[in-house]
Chain A
Amino acid sequence: MSFTLVLTIVLILSLVGYWLGKGRAAFVAGRDKEQRLHSRPAYYGLLTALWCGIPALLLLIAWGLGEPLVIENLVVAELPAEMRALPENRVELLVNEIRNMVDSNMVAGDRDEALSRAADRYRQLRTTSGRLGAGLVLLLANFSIFMVWRRIRPAMKARNHVERIVKAGLIVCASFAVFITLGIVLSVLFESIRFFKIVPIHEFLFGLKWSPQMSIRADQVGSSGAFGAIPVFAGTLMISLIAMLVAVPLGLMSAIYLSEYANRKFRAVAKPLLEILAGIPTVVYGFFAALTVAPFLRESISGFGFDVSSESALAAGLVMGIMIIPFVSSLSDDVINAVPQAMRDGAYALGATRSETIKQVVIPAALPGIVGGILLAVSRAIGETMIVVMAAGLAANLTANPFQAVTTVTVQIVTLLVGDQEFDSPKTLAAFALGLVLFVVTLILNIVALFVVRKYREQYE
């Protein structure tokens, strides 16, 4: 039976359980009138439904996740001895092939006899397991309905019970964020450790040459590839720097004008318009950078005698800067507005002009918050992917010339992982090492920024 079908049946059973529980509660209450129900009848129904649905669903999910593993082990165990004796990764390949044969429902004509037999066995086991799993799940659901139904008494604290279950569910949902972070750290860390076993960590962090495309297999001699990530980091830094050079002055000045000078009407129009910039998908910016900005820059700057490559750091950085403008401006806007009016009034009373007040009182007072906002924007720029993938290029040049093509961490991750991949080669593992660096750097930036912003906000509240 298919997963969705079993799921639907479990849900229907829960609904049935709800009515059964509710009816039972009304029945036991009606039988001896002197005893009043502890909770409203609906709670008895809910309790039955929850007890029916939750264990059954958990079992269903566990079955679905565990089934392939068990079946694979069984199938591998039945393979001919000489196949099982192969090294582990070759066995994995065989398993993959079997799985492909199963999924595509191919008639295994000229395939290996043993493999096609294994595929048939796999299919057969899967059918059996599917039936067995569905049967067990439905049995469990019915059994739990019966157990709860039997125990319903007027004195049963159904509401408290239901609320405990719901609260436990809420706690699990709230803890998801931690699991996600944990998942990120573990997945990236494990693959990175595997990578650092092949390429020493100092070579990765401080090497000057990056050419991962050379190494197709780890055991190839002479083309082991070079995994020195300095050019990649340098490219990331340069593009982020260009982006910040665009975004910080424009964003900050926009925020200052909007919060200090603009009248209400202008603000009501200009602010949402600026925010639109933040809502445009990055792939659109990438297209804009590659097709409009880059050719324009090449033509206009070549006129001055500079040689601009078609995928220059400048185009990517410039467009990324535009994308970040609203980020800087709305964060700065918040902190500037949080500066108490009394401080401005004090400066005006001393005879300062508006700009002097802003420059000498408001900005210094808001500086920690602005710096925090800029740090968040930097972390955004470092982690931005699509603009640089489409406009910045792949060549890992170690250069300070913004008219040349450079590459970034995110571009490398994408190019290393998109397309067919062998999961054990240092080439793909390098992507996870880069991901680890990216995650750690952005994490530090975020934590520092959030800390600074929060601390600052408390100052004037």
Chain B
Amino acid sequence: MNNGSEKTIDIVKKGLGRRYRVEKRFRLYGVLAITISLLFLALLFASIIARGHSAFRQTFVKLSVELAEAEFDLNDLGRADYQGLIKKTLREEFPQVKSRSDKKDLYSLVSSGAAFRLHNLVTDNPSLIGETVEIWVPADDDVDMYYKGYISREVPEEDRRLKDNQLAWLDRWQAEGKIVKRFNTIFFTGGDSREPELAGILSAFTGSMLTLVITLALSFPIGVAAAVYLEEFAPRNRWIDTVEVNINNLAAVPSIIFGLLGLAVFINFFGVPRSSPLVGGLVLTLMTLPIIIIASRASLQSVPPSIREAALGIGASRMQTVSHHVLPLALPGMLTGTIIGMGRALGETAPLLMIGMVAFIVDIPQGFTDPATALPVQIYLWADSPERAFVEKTSAAILVLLAFLIVMNLLAVILRNRFERRW
């Protein structure tokens, strides 16, 4: 007996070192898994910030344009050849440039948006005509990339986007202080453009907001009503079971399927205009509805039954109980769920591709039926563009999108902490 128990202890002791090592290793795996996951998160943010931060500044060139009276028809300022004026100014800056190809190189240093700037300047103050005005115009995207360090002088000329002569002109401008990097307002006030230096996110952002307005206006009331019915009034029967299974399933259906539904039902059957925030909002409503219903039900469940009983006890009807007491108490939780659902809708891309919101939208959409695109779709479109400068724009647009998502989620957290009651 004594002998036997000594033996067992020996066996245990012999194995103990190995078992502790396994224990340590297992623990290490856990730490490693979390570290790797968080490392990926950090890498994701770092790579996007590293690529995108430079897009918030933009290179501008100062030009002194002579607005000769002969160029303008005072009755129709829009007819003047602003592009020609810009080109003339550039030629006068560098009189030594003679050959055709050199001139072309010179013209390509400033953005084609320069003419629009000049146009706007003149139409806003016609009194400037006859004077020489100094105007800051956006530089071409290649110049911008050069000043941001993405184009290196070390690279042989034939592989470089900027030729030696162009660099020489730029150097002279720089020496004269005519090149400045400033905060990039175009990015926040412009629509999409084929020219990276003129491309902005405002049209996509407006499209996203219009879409979200529709989504919110439809999914919040319907979702809350559905949750109230299922939680407070529904009898336990087969139909209600079907409804519940359906809601849980819908929450896990791939988003692209909702896009197919939108295409087949809303666009082809009901004739809702393609590419419009209206149809986008409808599709996203279908997607966010289950999220809101599930969150609202959880919120209703957390209201203690004593509240209901007290209300019923003093003679309120069931509808009055819900609308006067239960709903106000559950509302903060419902709003939190709704904000999270809206965040999901804001970041969603795939179903919008199906319903034609992948359009090249230059103008800011004015209403719910105008063609529009959404911020994530704009990111997708820019990510596909070959120009180097669009990589920067894409990352910057992602940063804006992420900023909005963070704000929305913070709002949800604050709302929850502020108003959620523990019973």
How far in angstroms is the closest Cβ of chain A from B349? 5
A450–B40 Cα gap in the complex (Å)? 29
0/1 string, B43-54, CB within 8 A of A gives 1: 110011001000
The answer to whether A432 and B264 have CB atoms under 8 Å apart is yes
A93–B261 Cα gap in the complex (Å)? 23
The answer to whether B253 and A170 have CB atoms under 8 Å apart is no
The answer to whether A281 and B48 have CB atoms under 8 Å apart is no
- Which residues of the other chain, B, contact A355 by a CB distance below 8 angstroms? 22-23, 26-27
The answer to whether B261 and A253 have CB atoms under 8 Å apart is no
A184–B23 Cα gap in the complex (Å)? 50
Binds B, one of A125-133, A203-211, A221-229, A270-278: A270-278
The answer to whether B229 and A171 have CB atoms under 8 Å apart is yes
- Which residues of the other chain, B, contact A351 by a CB distance below 8 angstroms? 12
Please classify the interface of chain A as helix (H, G, I), strand (E, B), loop, or mixed, using the class held by over half of its residues: helix
B265 within 8 A of A: yes
How far in angstroms is the closest Cβ of chain B from A7? 12
Per a CB cutoff under 8 Å, which of B226, B317, B346, B394 touches A176? B226
Q: Quick one: closest B residue to A322, CB to CB?
A: B40
- Which residues of the other chain, A, contact B395 by a CB distance below 8 angstroms? 287
The answer to whether B47 and A170 have CB atoms under 8 Å apart is no
- Which residues of the other chain, A, contact B47 by a CB distance below 8 angstroms? 288, 291-292
A355–B27 Cα gap in the complex (Å)? 8
How big is the A interface, by class? 35 or more
- Which residues of the other chain, B, contact A290 by a CB distance below 8 angstroms? 383
The answer to whether B256 and A383 have CB atoms under 8 Å apart is yes
How far in angstroms is the closest Cβ of chain A from B354? 6
Binds A, one of B29-37, B135-143, B169-177, B304-312: B29-37
The answer to whether A177 and B247 have CB atoms under 8 Å apart is yes
The answer to whether B226 and A253 have CB atoms under 8 Å apart is no
- Chain A, range 142-179, C-beta contacts under 8 Å to B: 159, 163, 166-167, 169-171, 173-178
Per a CB cutoff under 8 Å, which of B30, B40, B250 touches A253? B30
B298 within 8 A of A: no
Binds A, one of B90-98, B194-202, B398-406, B414-422: B398-406
Known: A283-B379, A322-B40. A431 touches B260 (CB 8 A): yes
A68–B268 Cα gap in the complex (Å)? 13
Known: A170-B225, A273-B41, A277-B41. A383 touches B255 (CB 8 A): yes
Binds A, one of B107-115, B158-166, B286-294, B328-336: B286-294
0/1 string, B388-411, CB within 8 A of A gives 1: 000100110010011001000100
A257 within 8 A of B: yes
B271 within 8 A of A: yes
- Chain A, range 377-404, C-beta contacts under 8 Å to B: 379-380, 382-386, 389-390
The answer to whether A376 and B252 have CB atoms under 8 Å apart is yes
A379–B245 Cα gap in the complex (Å)? 17
A288–B391 Cα gap in the complex (Å)? 11
- Chain B, range 233-262, C-beta contacts under 8 Å to A: 233-234, 242-243, 245-250, 252-261
Per a CB cutoff under 8 Å, which of A254, A270, A386 touches B350? A386
How far in angstroms is the closest Cβ of chain B from A141? 21
How far in angstroms is the closest Cβ of chain B from A295? 11
- Which residues of the other chain, A, contact B253 by a CB distance below 8 angstroms? 184, 383, 439, 442-443, 446
The answer to whether A390 and B380 have CB atoms under 8 Å apart is yes
- Which residues of the other chain, A, contact B242 by a CB distance below 8 angstroms? 178
- Which residues of the other chain, B, contact A250 by a CB distance below 8 angstroms? 33, 36-37
How far in angstroms is the closest Cβ of chain A from B278? 11
Q: Quick one: closest B residue to A432, CB to CB?
A: B260
The answer to whether B26 and A284 have CB atoms under 8 Å apart is no
A410 within 8 A of B: yes
B263 within 8 A of A: yes
B216 within 8 A of A: no
- Which residues of the other chain, A, contact B36 by a CB distance below 8 angstroms? 250
- Which residues of the other chain, B, contact A171 by a CB distance below 8 angstroms? 229
The answer to whether A176 and B289 have CB atoms under 8 Å apart is yes
Known: A177-B247, A291-B391. A280 touches B44 (CB 8 A): yes
B230 within 8 A of A: yes
How far in angstroms is the closest Cβ of chain A from B324? 12
Q: Quick one: closest B residue to A65, CB to CB?
A: B270
Per a CB cutoff under 8 Å, which of B264, B271, B348 touches A188? B264
The answer to whether B260 and A413 have CB atoms under 8 Å apart is yes
The answer to whether B257 and A435 have CB atoms under 8 Å apart is yes
Please classify the interface of chain B as helix (H, G, I), strand (E, B), loop, or mixed, using the class held by over half of its residues: helix
How far in angstroms is the closest Cβ of chain A from B334? 14
- Which residues of the other chain, B, contact A413 by a CB distance below 8 angstroms? 256, 260, 354
How far in angstroms is the closest Cβ of chain B from A417? 6
Q: Quick one: closest A residue to B51, CB to CB?
A: A291
- Which residues of the other chain, A, contact B247 by a CB distance below 8 angstroms? 177
How far in angstroms is the closest Cβ of chain A from B270? 6
The answer to whether B257 and A386 have CB atoms under 8 Å apart is no
Per a CB cutoff under 8 Å, which of B32, B243, B255, B319 touches A174? B243
Per a CB cutoff under 8 Å, which of A68, A252, A279, A354 touches B23? A354
A250–B225 Cα gap in the complex (Å)? 39
A180, A280, A284, A380 — most chain B CB neighbours (10 Å):
A284
- Which residues of the other chain, B, contact A414 by a CB distance below 8 angstroms? 256, 350, 353-354
0/1 string, B337-376, CB within 8 A of A gives 1: 0000001001111100110001000000000000000001
A426 within 8 A of B: no
The answer to whether B222 and A417 have CB atoms under 8 Å apart is no
Per a CB cutoff under 8 Å, which of A273, A281, A288 touches B376? A281
Known: A176-B222, A282-B347. A277 touches B37 (CB 8 A): yes
A411–B31 Cα gap in the complex (Å)? 35
Per a CB cutoff under 8 Å, which of B20, B48, B318 touches A353? B20
- Which residues of the other chain, A, contact B286 by a CB distance below 8 angstroms? 180
A215–B155 Cα gap in the complex (Å)? 45
The answer to whether B350 and A174 have CB atoms under 8 Å apart is no
- Which residues of the other chain, B, contact A432 by a CB distance below 8 angstroms? 260, 264
0/1 string, A348-367, CB within 8 A of B gives 1: 00010111101100000000
The answer to whether A170 and B264 have CB atoms under 8 Å apart is no
A385–B26 Cα gap in the complex (Å)? 35
- Chain A, range 425-451, C-beta contacts under 8 Å to B: 431-432, 435, 438-439, 442-443, 446-447, 450
How far in angstroms is the closest Cβ of chain B from A223? 25
How far in angstroms is the closest Cβ of chain A from B318? 8
- Which residues of the other chain, A, contact B30 by a CB distance below 8 angstroms? 253-254, 256-257, 260-261
A286 within 8 A of B: yes
The answer to whether A273 and B243 have CB atoms under 8 Å apart is no
A290–B401 Cα gap in the complex (Å)? 18
- Which residues of the other chain, A, contact B225 by a CB distance below 8 angstroms? 169-170, 173-174
A124 within 8 A of B: no
A183 within 8 A of B: yes
A84–B27 Cα gap in the complex (Å)? 77
A298–B131 Cα gap in the complex (Å)? 57
- Which residues of the other chain, A, contact B257 by a CB distance below 8 angstroms? 184, 188, 383, 435, 438-439, 442
A37–B284 Cα gap in the complex (Å)? 45
Known: A187-B260, A322-B40. A174 touches B33 (CB 8 A): no
- Chain A, range 190-227, C-beta contacts under 8 Å to B: 190-191
How far in angstroms is the closest Cβ of chain B from A453? 10
**What would 25 A/B residue contacts be, using CB atoms closer than 8 Å?**
A65-B270, A171-B229, A177-B290, A261-B30, A281-B346, A281-B347, A282-B349, A283-B347, A283-B349, A288-B47, A288-B48, A291-B47, A291-B383, A292-B47, A354-B26, A379-B254, A384-B254, A385-B353, A389-B380, A410-B254, A410-B256, A417-B354, A418-B358, A439-B253, A439-B257
**A-B CB proximity, top 6 nearest:** A383-B254, A257-B30, A281-B347, A253-B33, A187-B264, A173-B225
For the complex with contacts A169-B225, A355-B23, 7 further pairs of A-B residues with Cβ separation under 8 Å are A177-B247, A274-B37, A274-B38, A281-B347, A353-B20, A379-B254, A418-B358
